[in-house]
Amino acid sequence: MSLTRKIKDPTDAKRRRMVEDYVMAKGVDDKRVIEAMLKVPRHLFVEPALAELAYNDHATPIGSSQTITQPYTVAILAQEAELKGDECVLEVGTGSGYTTSILALLCQRVYTIERINSLSNKARKIFNKLGYNNIVCFTGDGTIGIAKHAPYDAIVVTAGAPKVPIPLAKQLKPQARMVIPLDNGTGQIMTVVTRTKGMHFKVDKKADCSFVPLIGKHGWSK
């Protein structure tokens, strides 16, 4: 796919470079994911003092000891969710709201939950500013899911879990996918858990990854 087009603002060029060098060059080829990553102004989701670092392929601090997920990993999360456009998605771990924003461009509605109130509030303000009005924010322990809006067409977890949180598995629609980083004793593996039938699931291990811990009733204790 050619990314040549008129550059409208200086961050357009940075986004294009980010997508070409860290997303497409590493094998992500989902056109909708690429388009979304070209659009969302990632620099708005980090502290202004760190805006220069926003388009590097790193996890960058966002306050409260948490980090914005690195571009390549966001692309893999989004690609593995296999969204077509009409889904309702649950995201666990709003963080800066960057991954939420990418998902919001790929599906009909995103319910996102964050355990740290200040991060949730900050993300909410950015969503309003950018006019992403298909995002619904919650504050609390996302390892228990959000039963009120379940079942979901996809669940995306953006923090590393010790095991699949059972309440989340139960909130998947039949055939729906959960993308979740799981601990394997030595590191984390991005894992796709597909609900095949009833409480039967298929587990596919994808790439190595590195996320902050998923802390909660069905996650780590701290």
Site for ligand SAH, rule CB under 6 A: 62, 66-69, 92-93, 95-96, 98-99, 113-116, 119, 141-143, 158-159, 212, 214-216, 219
68 vs 180 by CB, closer to ligand SAH: 68
Query: CA separation (Å) from 221 to 14, 121, 214?
Result: 38, 24, 9
84 vs 217 by CB, closer to ligand SAH: 217
Smallest distance from ligand SAH to CB 197, Å: 27
Angle among Cα 186, 74, 205 to the nearest 5 degrees reads 40
- What the block records as the tokens of 27 is 């094998």
Smallest distance from ligand SAH to CB 200, Å: 25
Smallest distance from ligand SAH to CB 174, Å: 25
| Closest CB to ligand SAH: residue number | 95
79 vs 158 by CB, closer to ligand SAH: 158
Other beta carbons less than 10 A from residue 90's beta carbon: 28
What are the percentages of helix, strand and coil residues in the chain, rounded to 5?
35, 30, 35
State phi, psi for 41 to the nearest 5 degrees: -75, 85
192 vs 212 by CB, closer to ligand SAH: 212
Smallest distance from ligand SAH to CB 108, Å: 20
Smallest distance from ligand SAH to CB 207, Å: 16
Residue among 87, 44, 81, 100 at smallest CA distance from 204: 81
101 vs 109 by CB, closer to ligand SAH: 101
What is the C-alpha to C-alpha distance for residues 62 and 182, in angstroms, rounded to an integer? 22
